[in-house]
Each structure stands twice: as structure tokens, then as C-alpha cells.
Amino acid sequence: MKVLVAEDNELKLKSILDFLESSHGIKSDLVKVVLTPDDAIVEIKKKIYDFFILDMSLPAFEQDKKQIRSLSGKRVLMTMKHKRLKTRTVVFTQWDVFGHHDDRVSLENLKTELLDTFPSFLKDIIFWESSSNEWKVRISSQINEL
């Protein structure tokens, strides 16, 4: 199984990679990691992946981790829809609110919007907490459906 992970947070990334290997036998050489929305778009268009774990808030540039775009993952999803890419995808986030001031959107509202907009490939929006195993159960559920 080939997996694409778009994640810039080192702790979350390590959690994902350790979990994929320990629970599903997916070795790191079968996992491609990218850090920006642009890199995710390039990668998902040029190779076929079985599963895609997408962080919703990624930096615009690899060197610019301070400049996080709160809904940058949405652009990746829109490109996938436009290009008719069907890789089974989950959004993986540590935030329960996105945006600022009048542009704020809750994770629940975002989940409803995204699952309605991208039903052919987006299968879940998963909230990550390092102290919880719920995210592992939900990722396993998606992998087991492949």
C-alpha cells in the first residue's frame, strides 16, 4: 500500500508514521511525506496512492512554517476534485476552529462542508490528540476499507 501524507507538524507526523508501521505494517519507504499544499498537489497528480492523509493547515512554503494557512488543505481537495483524482483521503487536524475573527469556522461545520463537497474521495475528517486513540481507530477503519 502506498500512502501520501501532507503534514508539517513533526510530532503528528511521527505519530502517523509509527502508527502506520506498527498497526498496519506500512513501512516508511511506502509513505511519501510532503510539507506544503503545492507539494501535495504535485505528488497526488504524478503518482497513484492508495491512501492520503492531509493536514488542513499547512505552510505555503516549506521554509515558512510560521506562515500557516488555516484552510490550505481545502485547495488540495479542490484540485483533486477538478482533476477527478479518487485517492481515498482523510483530513487530519489538531485544530477544532479554523480562521480568524469573522472568518472562523468550527471543525464540525468544516467537516459537513468538506464531506458534502468531496464525497467521491474524502472519507473522514479526523481530530488528532496525542493523548487519544480515537484517531488511530478512525484511520484504521479507512485503511481496512481499501
- What is the residue extent of each domain of the chain? 3-144
What's the pLDDT tens digit per position in 60-87?
Answer: 655 554 444 557 888 999 999 999 999 9
Fold type of domain 3-144: Rossmann fold (3.40.50)
For position 46, what pLDDT does the model report? 95
For position 45, what pLDDT does the model report? 95
Characterize the bridge pairing of strands 3-6 and 51-55: parallel
What's the pLDDT tens digit per position in 84-125?
Answer: 999 999 999 876 665 555 666 776 888 899 999 999 999 999
Q: Which has more confidence, 132 or 108?
A: 132
What's the pLDDT tens digit per position in 2-27?
Answer: 999 999 999 999 999 999 999 999 99
Q: CB count, 10 Å around CB of 29? A: 6
